[in-house]
Structure 1
């Protein structure tokens, strides 16, 4: 069946890996986590599914109940990475 339990965010650009790594311990080097790789891991305190969709792009999936938390964490990390 169709479920609305999960939410997905795209994190793209030259600072995408730095942004995701701000809250995720996964080794995101291209050698360790190549394009097409996927992993269950954590982002801050939220369990996520992380997919690398391009060298500089990730898809972060989480439960809807964690979506505000994950969005805020990623937004703040992206802002920090841009400075």
Structure 2
């Protein structure tokens, strides 16, 4: 699993995921199967500004790189 934590966590994930991550729609404890870029993922909200991203092992490098680049863009 990949943890995405911080004030830009939702923006980082939304750079490649169509899931509505507003707290009203996707509260703490929510989970969903969705996509991130070209990979199917399971997304869990573990805190207000923290998410857990799970994917098939064969997609893990792709998903990690995607999120790393998106985090840089979200921080800029």
Could you say which TM-score interval applies, normalised by the shorter chain?
A: over 0.9
- State the match for 1:18 in structure 2: 11
Q: Gaps spanning 5+ residues in structure 1: where?
A: 1-7
CA RMSD of aligned residues (A): 0.3
**Given the two structures, how large is their TM-score scaled by the length of structure 2?**
0.99
Residue 67 of structure 2 aligns to a residue whose secondary structure is helix
Tell me by how many angstroms 1:60 deviates: 0.2
Look at both structures and tell me which one has the larger radius of gyration over its CA atoms: 1
**Given the two structures, how large is their TM-score scaled by the length of structure 1?**
0.91
How does 1:1-83 map onto structure 2 within 5 Å? 8-83=1-76
Q: How many residues in Structure 1 have an aligned counterpart in Structure 2?
A: 76
Q: Gaps spanning 5+ residues in structure 2: where?
A: none
